[in-house]
Amino acid sequence: FSNDYDHYYGAYGIPLASPWCSTDGQFTTVGATVDVGDAVPSCFAAGPLKNRWFKFSSPLNTGTIELKTGGAEGDLRTAVITVWEADRTTEVTCVKYTDANAYEDFIIGLTTLTPNADYYITVDNEDPAKEGSFTLCFDKNVDYDWLEGALDIDGFMNGCSANAAYNTNGATPDRLSGSCWANGTPNANRWFKITAPASGVARFILRRGGVYGSQQFGEMALWEADGSTEVACKRYINNGDSYIVMTAPGLTPGNTYYVSVDVGNISYRNTFTLCWYDTYDYDYYEGAIDVTTTFNGCSGNAAYSTYGATGDRNSGSCWANSTPNVNRWFKFTAPANGIARIILRRGGVYGNQQFGEMALWEADGTTEVNCRRYINNGDSYIVMSTLGLTPGATYYLSVDVSNTSYQNSFTLCFYDTLDYDYYEGAIDITGILGGCSGNAAYSTYGATSDRLSGSCWVNGTPNVNRWFKFTADASGIARIILRRGGVYGNQQFGEMALWEADGTTEVNCRRYINNGDSYIVMTTLGLTPGATYYLSVDVSNTSYQNSFTLCYYNTVDYDFYEGAIDVTGTFNGCSGNAAYSTYGATSDRLSGSCWVNGTPNVNRWFKFTAPASGVARIILRRGGVYGNQQFGEMALWENDGMTEVNCRRYINNGDSYIVMTTPGLTPGDTYYLSVDVSNTSYQNSFTLCFYDTYDYDYYEGAIDVTGTFNGCSGNAAYSTYGATSDRLSGSCWVNGTPNVNRWFKFTSITEQVQIQIRRGGSYGNQQFAESALWESDGTTELACKRYVNSGDWITYSYLNLTPGNVYYISVDVSNTNYQNSFTLCLDDLDPYAVCQNVAGGLDGTGNITIAGSAMDGGSQDASLPLIFTPSQGDFDCSDIALSPITVTLTVTDQDGNSSTCNSDITIADLLPPAMVCQDISVNLDASGNATITPAMIDNGSADNCTATTLSLDITDFTCVDAGPNTVTLTGVDGYGNSASCTATVTVLDDIPDNTLAVSDPIICFGDNADIDITASEVGVTYQLRLDSDDSNVGAAIAGNGAVITFTVSPAATTVYNVLATSDATSCSIELIDKSTVTVNNLPDNSLTVTDPNICDGDNASIDVSVTELGVSYQLRLNSDDSNVGAPIAGNNGLISFTVSPAVTTIYNVLATTGATSCSVELTDLSTVTVTPIP
């Protein structure tokens, strides 16, 4: 057998020196096998698989085994580590991986070892594909994962560990969980220990977040030295709490205590910071923060918090919770005036706490002095004002929340003055006289009860009253308006009282009518100028305490005779809709003689200067946009406001208007109008209208109905409702004097008149109708008629009128309970025939029928409907020439009475011809032209009466029109009516193909270029042209169905185009493709070549001066241009050819451009003269 650590008998012996670690990645499971009969680890049911063996002993009963992977430490994954007794079958512990794909580190703490006994370790991996190397370490001691390895933190008492110094990651459960922990047994707890300080207090803070660590769901517990007797416990409220505070008082100084730190959710184990102190914080009465220096100011925004606090001592008597939840403590020394006004603020920058509560205590922290709590959970502030404190004495303040879910940050403010919650702190509003406070500037929210309630208030004692004061000015008047709604505030059920300077003697009192009143007005006269008065504002229902606005004026409004609104400018018009209101008004002076109420209820006052006519017709309107007041009443008074001139009131509570007409006023005199309601439940808005004329309630205001003859008024256009009695009753009427008669007048058209009063359905609801016809004096009766039954129509006639005279009609009811709407009809018996001239256009068949009703121009009669019979109604084309044609129209009513009138009928043909077009195709002739006629496009156009003249907008076409062309065919009939239609004329083309390819030759200067056109067409002639000006170049060439070629010799690069012309139509087109002939320049041929002289047998050097770069030079025999030697490249300088002729010889030089291969022979020749040897 092998004796390596693949088998127990080859187990690697861990050195006794402690601590010890192998080198990085020293061990591996690669190649490991299973020992036959090996025990199965409890955490690896499928094992063993590839285990390695190690052996160790510890001099202590503790030991820590650490396996490391990742990076240089190894690449083993899915590791399983098991510790065995010496028999290799009794398992001590087993630990396995948590992430199959991660390189993980493992720490195993052992606290029950037998000192110096042998133990085995096996390292396996569950997934053979993830075998690999690892590093192994051993220490005889355990770390702070165990009570036995608890870290001593006495060294940083009254301070903190390093940031994120500790970590629950990789920890294991040890001993017990704290009684307050979320988990029944520990998850991954760490251990610390302290020696209790002399104070007997230990305050621990577990910090996390940012630099302090990433652990969440933190938990702490404090234990006696046995590690199992709990002393204190604290855990997270929310998983991400930045700190958890655990304070333990009453410790035994000098004794050892243990702290365990865990997480409620192992997924969030991570780093944390630990702090501890030997003092209380403000979670306890003993650690109360001294806020004396804060008086007349505030703490920092959100400086304090109930978050994480505990319950200490008593709850306040007003608190929702019977014992404290998470109260915080503060203390202060009472100021010299014995007043402490404390404000608990929250919301926005002030903090997020809700359901706040406060209590003030004597120095013992148990005797309550005052108490205040929230009204609504999100109150932005809570104010607690306390008077009568002992100056210099210490008082304690506790702050709590009734619902621990809302423990959070808050701000505290302290003042030694009272605010306007008290009479003594009343706000002086003298400065706003003649205006208003800021919108919603004040609030009863959070106020308390102080002094007396107003005599008119619903509540017998104040609820949440606020106080104001002012100095009465010289007028002795104070009109105070309490506003709410919208921007003015949200308070409801408002109440006000005005008091003498003592704050207890009431001067005036006003309160709401309805809970949501937008304003309450309290006007007080007779105040003592210069005296101070106090105003208290309250609500009768504390659920509606909220913000409000105050306005203060030294004038009376139209609630009083003295403040009457001058409406003279309104005459012959109306106020704004619902401009006035009795809502919130009071009683002033007398009630009208016709009013239901013996004294005014809520009357308003108006005044006006009587007009020149001496007539004032006043209309009180309500309903819809005009206002919601009901049970309206009006009275008109002399200038003294006491002597009644006229009086009117409602008939039914919801009357839409009340009219009061008063004649005989003294022009220029002032009169007063008071408006009231008989039932204060219906005080509300209304509209007033004023006129200096009568209406048809009076003879003088009779409506002229002359235009109604032979017809009727609008249905239910008139009404006796609200009318009064004027002049005489008809002789046939039931009532001896008029009741509610209305007046009409007309100018007679004929000697006859028939008068009809209609009612019922759409005609109106009046009953018991009566009517009389009068001479123009309105008192001489001509005819009279009344109902037989209550719902009858009334019809009566008078046959002896004088045409052109004016007559009067009065309409009344015998029973005023049935005054209502009616319809008035007038008839001069025979129909009143009125014609109009008619112009008619013939239809598509040349005919038209004109009905008699079309010839009627407004004929009238009382007996409807009328029948219209024309003498001629059918017309055709032949009547155009006869127009206008006079037609007699007979108008007949339902009683058979008839009249006639004439109508001129003009017949016209107004219809244009019906145009029909067709599409055609045409061929161009040999000259490239084609012509069409209207008949070729027309496809059956016709007119209803006459022949049609046809014309075309386009008749001639050329080569440029090849393809589809739109033409318009226009037809005009004999009466000038015209219409058009369009057609497509397709010009069949014989245009040459313009897509042929044209070559682009490249030549050297002086050479000819061949320009080729591929696939030329037979019957087409091609002309080469300069593209710059389209001038011809050479002769045209006829197409042959194959390639044709043009030969040119331009001196420079030139662009050419080709014009193709059809031999059949002479239609021409330029080919799209153009030819660019590129001309390359020749080398410079003017270079100088030397003429050397040599002796026979010597070499001659032929030099060429100033050669060009990119040009090669070839020496040649001039006799046959054969090359001599190799060519030489130009270099912008001198080149030399070496020759050795036997006799005198002439050479030339050929210069060739390398880029274009263009060559030229230098003009200068070289003559090598050879002199024979003597």
Cα separation, 70 vs 103, whole angstroms: 5
Percentage of the chain lying above the pLDDT 70 cut: 99
What are the DSSP calls for 974-1014, one per residue? TTS-EEEEEEEEEEE--PPP----B---EEETT--EEEEES
Mean pLDDT, residues 1031-1057: 95
Q: What is the identity of the amino acid at 544?
A: Y
8 Å CB contact between 60 and 139? no
Where along the chain do the CATH 2.60.40.10 domains lie? 1093-1171
**How many Cα atoms within 13 Å fall on the side-chain side of residue 291?**
30
Token pair 């022949």 is at which residue? 947
Q: What span, in angstroms and rounded, lies between the C-alpha atoms of 660 and 695?
A: 10
Burial 830-859 (b: 16+ CB within 10 A, else e): bbbbbbeebebebeeebebebebebbbeeb
Torsions phi, psi for 876 (to 5 deg)? -140, -165
Q: Identify the residue whose tokens are 């009238």.
A: 860
Q: From residue 614, how far is each of 75, 565, 608, 660, 664 by CA, in Å?
A: 116, 20, 12, 14, 5
Q: How far apart are CA 74 and CA 617, in angstroms?
A: 110
CA 683 vs CA 218, 519, 583, 941: distances in Å: 66, 14, 5, 79
Give the tens place of pLDDT for each residue, 221-280: 999 999 999 999 999 999 889 999 999 999 999 999 999 999 999 999 999 999 999 999
- Which residues is 1137 bridged to in the sheet? 1102
Q: Say how many Å lie between the first and final Cα of the chain, rounded.
A: 113
Record: fold of 147-277: Jelly Rolls (2.60.120)
At position 747, the amino acid (one-letter code) is T
**Phi, psi torsion values for 92, nearest 5 degrees:** -90, -45
Polymer length in residues for the chain: 1174
Write the pLDDT tens digit of every residue in 555-584: 999 999 999 999 999 999 999 999 999 999
- Residue 1 above 50 pLDDT? no
- Return the CATH number of the domain spanning residue range 1093-1171: 2.60.40.10
Average pLDDT, the chain: 94
Per-residue pLDDT, averaged over 1107-1132, amounts to 95
Q: Say if residues 866 and 827 touch (Cβ distance below 8 Å).
A: no
User: pLDDT band for position 860 (50/70/90)?
Assistant: confident
Give the C-alpha separation, 933 to 930, whole Å.
Answer: 11
Three-state secondary structure call for residue 323:
coil
Rounded to whole angstroms, the Cα distance separating 72 from 55 reads 24
Please give the model's pTM, rounded to 2 decimal places.
0.52
CATH of the structural domain 838-908, one choice from 3.40.50, 1.20.120, 1.20.140, 2.60.40: 2.60.40
CA gap 583, 677 in Å, rounded: 10
CA distance 559 to 29: 104
| CB distance 268 to 239 below 8 Å | yes
| pLDDT band, residue 862 (cuts 50/70/90) | low
Count CB-CB contacts under 10 A for residue 595.
24
pLDDT score at 1005: 93
Other C-beta atoms within 10 Å of 239: how many? 12
CATH 2.60.120.380 holds for 423-553? yes
Average pLDDT over residues 1028-1034: 95
**Dist CA 1071 CA 47 (whole Å):** 89
Residue 1043, pLDDT above cutoff 50: yes
Encode pLDDT of 119-166 as tens digits: 999 999 999 999 999 999 999 988 899 999 999 999 999 999 999 999
What are the Cα distances from residue 980, in Å, to 201, 913, 937? 110, 9, 12
pLDDT at 924: 84
- Average pLDDT of 422-447? 96
Write out the two tokens for 536. 């208290």
- Rounded distance between C-alpha atoms, residue 615 and residue 1164, angstroms: 134
Q: Looking at residues 511-539, what average pLDDT do you find?
A: 95
Per-residue pLDDT tens over the stretch 328-380: 999 999 999 999 999 999 999 999 999 999 999 999 999 999 999 999 998 99
Quick: pLDDT tens for 871-909.
999 999 999 989 999 999 999 887 788 889 999 999 999
Calpha distance 645→594 (Å, rounded):
12
- Residue 1115 CA to residue 1130 CA, distance in Å, equals 13
Mean pLDDT along residues 72-84: 96
Q: Whole-angstrom Cα distance, residue 666 to residue 1020?
A: 113
| pLDDT per position as a tens digit, 678-707 | 999 999 999 999 999 999 999 999 999 999
pLDDT of residue 936: 93
- Tell me: the pLDDT tens digits for 1055-1109? 999 999 888 888 889 999 999 999 999 999 999 999 999 999 999 999 999 999 9
Domain topology for 699-827: Jelly Rolls (2.60.120)
Interatomic CA distance for residues 901 and 418, integer angstroms = 95
**Cα(437)–Cα(421) distance, integer angstroms:** 17
Q: Are 542 and 464 in contact (CB under 8 A)?
A: yes
Write b or e for each residue in 1067-1081: b if 16 or more Cβ atoms lie within 10 A of its Cβ, otherwise e.
bbbbbebebebebee
Record the tokens describing residue 614, joined without a space.
């001496």
Mapped onto helix, strand or coil, the DSSP state of residue 75 is coil
Provide the pLDDT confidence category of residue 3 given band limits of 50, 70 and 90: low
> Measured between alpha carbons, how far is 1022 from 415 in angstroms, rounded to an integer?
110
Lowest mean pLDDT among 549-553, 945-949, 980-984, 1147-1151: 945-949
Q: Which CATH architecture has domain 585-689?
A: Sandwich (2.60)
What's residue 36's pLDDT? 64
Sheet holding 898-908, edge to edge: 838-841, 898-908, 885-892, 867-870
Tell me if the bond preceding 253 is cis, omega within 30° of 0. Answer: no
Cα-Cα-Cα-Cα torsion 264, 269, 272, 275, nearest 10 degrees, comes to 30
Give residues with Cβ within 8 angstroms of 94, minimum separation 6: 41, 42, 43, 44, 80, 81, 82, 83
* Greatest extent of the chain over all pairs of C-alpha atoms, in Å: 183
Just give the CATH number of 1002-1080. 2.60.40.2470
Q: What is the DSSP letter of 561?
A: G
pLDDT, residue 2, reads: 42
Residue 975 has pLDDT above 80, yes or no: yes
- Top CATH class, 8-139: mainly beta
| Architecture in CATH of 285-415 | Sandwich (2.60)
Confidence (pLDDT) at 711 = 87
C-alpha 76/C-alpha 79 separation (Å) is: 7
Residue 8 above 50 pLDDT? yes
In the structure encoding, which two tokens stand for residue 945, read together? Answer: 């009466």
Pick the CATH number of 920-988 from 1.10.3470, 3.90.79, 2.60.40, 3.30.2310: 2.60.40
Report the alpha-carbon distance of residue 328 to residue 334 in Å, rounded. Answer: 19
- Candidates 94, 138, 140, 136; CA nearest to 116 is 140
CATH 2.60.120.380 in the chain: give the residue spans. Answer: 8-139, 147-277, 285-415, 423-553, 585-689, 699-827
Q: Centre a 10 Å sphere on the Cβ of residue 790 and count the other Cβ atoms it contains.
A: 14
* Contact indicator for 551, 514 with CB cutoff of 8 Å: no
Residue 1102 CA to residue 1090 CA, distance in Å, equals 6
User: What pLDDT score does 175 carry?
Assistant: 93
Residue with tokens 């309903």: 623
Distance between CA atoms of 524 and 1060, rounded to whole angstroms? Answer: 111
Domain with CATH 2.60.40.2470 in the chain: 1002-1080
Q: How many CB atoms lie within 10 A of CB 383?
A: 20
CA distance 1132 to 1107: 5
Torsion (CA) 601, 604, 608, 613 in degrees, nearest 10: -50
Tell me the mean pLDDT in the region 913-942.
91
> How many other C-beta atoms are found inside a 10 Å radius of the C-beta of residue 83?
22
Q: Give the integer Cα–Cα distance in Å for 1107 and 1151.
A: 9
**Class of residue 226 by CB neighbours under 10 A (exposed 0-12, middle 13-18, buried 19+):** exposed
Tokens 């002479």 belong to which residue?
A: 1066
Convert the pLDDT of each residue in 715-768 to its tens digit. Answer: 999 999 999 999 999 999 999 999 999 999 999 977 889 999 999 999 999 999
Burial of 349 (0-12, 13-18, 19+ CB in 10 A): exposed
